[in-house]
Amino acid sequence: MEFSVVQHDPECAARSAVLTTAHGTVDTPAFMPVGTMGTVKGIAPDELQGLGFGLMLSNAYHLYLRPGYRVIQEQGGLHRFTGWPGSMLTDSGGFQLVSLAALRTVTDDGITFQSHLDGSKHHWTPELCMAIQMALGADIMMALDECPASSCSQTQAHAAVVRTTQWAKRCVLASHGCSQALFGIVQGALDADLRRQAACELVEIGFDGYAIGGLSLGEEKPALFAMVEASVAELPRSHPCYLMGVGLPEDLVEGVMRGVDLFDCVIPSRHGRTGWLFTNRGRILIKQAHYAKDESPIDEQCGCHVCQKYSRSYLRHLYVSNEMLGVRLNTIHNLWYYQTLMTTMRSAIQSGKFLSFRRRFYEQRRDCPRSAAYAVLMEAGHRSWSVGAHKRKDC
């Protein structure tokens, strides 16, 4: 993997870059659609590529359980198995410490899971985590981490950082000689000092890129971005920075302003399945009755195939009739919106006008209560964030 910074915005930490893997180049800041089981629900790989995405995320833990990483390896790896031609990042399974908390135990050696599929037990070590991701053939692998709940105690957060650092060292040793890239994950819950400590420890170990994990777990937005700022400040500017599991369009804008290069989240596809559609003026819920006779597109400013061809009225009909086409069209639109948002942010960075873009982004949403409240909250936080505070160290 190679990572080359193209342009820095002069007024904030936003930057554009190019990430290159064996399966192509990705312009950053970039959003990765989540294909947990090797597929973004309802969307074929060529459709995803046609929407402009060059990097997708899959989950090593879930693929380990079904169909099994050896099955995928025997069939030529994850790219050939799924038919996805672009770059692939595999999550390590550490997040399942939170999402499947009732089915696991954690020790210094690793994580013991009880399968949510059949109840069988599996011991997940850093070494096994690396073996699985290497067998899958991911372009970018994630080190195994302990992801504590945001409500954990300071003692629990500290223990998770210590364990994550030790597991990170074991992941590096286990993947020695491998040509695939490896990212370390910064933990620390909502403790800024722990976040800074964790980031510096990972930089000392040395990784191809760095991720910020353990956020977007129910904490308030100012706390989330305070942890991003604390983490980013200690990470080397020469390497990609990835904010895991985040988020809403507003989250992406705020993350990019603070120096984040990569994002992933299930929101565009999950919201498509639940009828929430993103527009330049905020979200709409397509099942609402007042769209029953609305002949306008989802978003008149959108250039996606769905907005060019279908009305809100038709999409509402599909959704309330439980037609699978409705879910697919909703998801395609949301993914297009996310990709267009990232493209627009890259252009704003390259012209040195990211903060002007950010201001317009919120102005368009002033009639959307949620986005308006978000803008007020983030602007209050941004006023206390000095221009010099965004500069990252070359650790």
CATH of domain 23-265: 3.20.20.105
The pLDDT of residue 384 is 42
Active site residue 118: no
Catalytic residue selected from 91, 139, 261, 299: 91
pLDDT tens, residue order, the chain (395 aa): 999 999 999 999 999 999 999 999 999 999 999 999 999 999 999 999 999 999 999 999 999 999 999 999 999 999 999 999 999 999 998 776 666 777 788 999 999 988 889 999 999 999 999 999 999 999 999 999 999 888 899 999 999 999 999 999 999 999 999 999 999 999 999 999 999 999 999 999 999 999 999 999 999 999 999 999 999 999 999 999 999 999 999 999 999 999 999 999 999 999 999 999 999 999 999 999 999 999 999 999 999 999 999 999 999 999 999 999 999 999 999 999 999 999 999 999 999 999 999 999 999 998 887 777 777 777 665 544 333 343 433 33
115 touches 84 (CB < 8 A): no
The encoded tokens of residue 367 equal 């009639």
Active site residue 91: yes
The encoded tokens of residue 346 equal 């890259």
d(CA 255, CA 303): 25
End-to-end alpha carbon distance in the chain: 20
Amino acid at 6: V
List where CATH 3.20.20.105 sits in the chain.
23-265
d(CA 228, CA 219): 13
DSSP state of 250: H
Catalytic residue selected from 139, 145, 251, 264: 264
